[in-house]
Amino acid sequence: MGSPEDGDAVPRSAEARWIRAALKGDSRERRRIALEELHGGPPFRVTPIACAVAARRLFGEQWDRRVITTFARRIVERTPAAAGLLPRDVEAVLRGMTGETELITAAPGEALAEISLGSLFGLADELALDDRAVDALLVEAERETAAVPVLAEPPDADEAAAPDDDRWRRTFQGLSDQ
């Protein structure tokens, strides 16, 4: 799923490695990274870019607003990581990440981190990403992150953008066919 030069590359940043562990279902590693390297949870830099990369992979260049509306509702209903999010907020962020950039500014920074993470888990399930595909997606996201300015001010170093808890897990079931 990544470019050919990605090969067997793995993500390097602590945030991307935390996402990697969570997407792969490795709770022990996810908690270790959160406690030892991230002061309690993932910050807010690679997360929205990884979500945007996954959204572009799923929806491509040609998408219908109704597809994203339905998908956003299913993410909130069926993805443990999206518990407590509003479908309209998830839809706005996903549409913003796939071209309607003015919509992405509607979500405050903290909400954008939560929505991006929750959506990323649903997108990973829908794309049926295996371990290698997760690595390729995160390596691509790190590369894009290095090339773009920060989307929003990250939280203080002592405060995580999203707490590390057990809702950050995948169902490993697609959302379209349920």
pLDDT tens across 47-84, in order? 889 999 999 999 987 778 889 999 999 999 988 878 88
pLDDT of residue 72: 93
Locate the domains of the chain by residue range.
10-147
What's the CA gap between 141 and 165, in Å, rounded?
23
Model pTM score: 0.78
Residues 6+ apart with CB under 8 A from 6: 135, 136, 139, 140
Dihedrals phi, psi of 105, to nearest 5 degrees: -75, -10
More confident residue, 19 or 154: 19
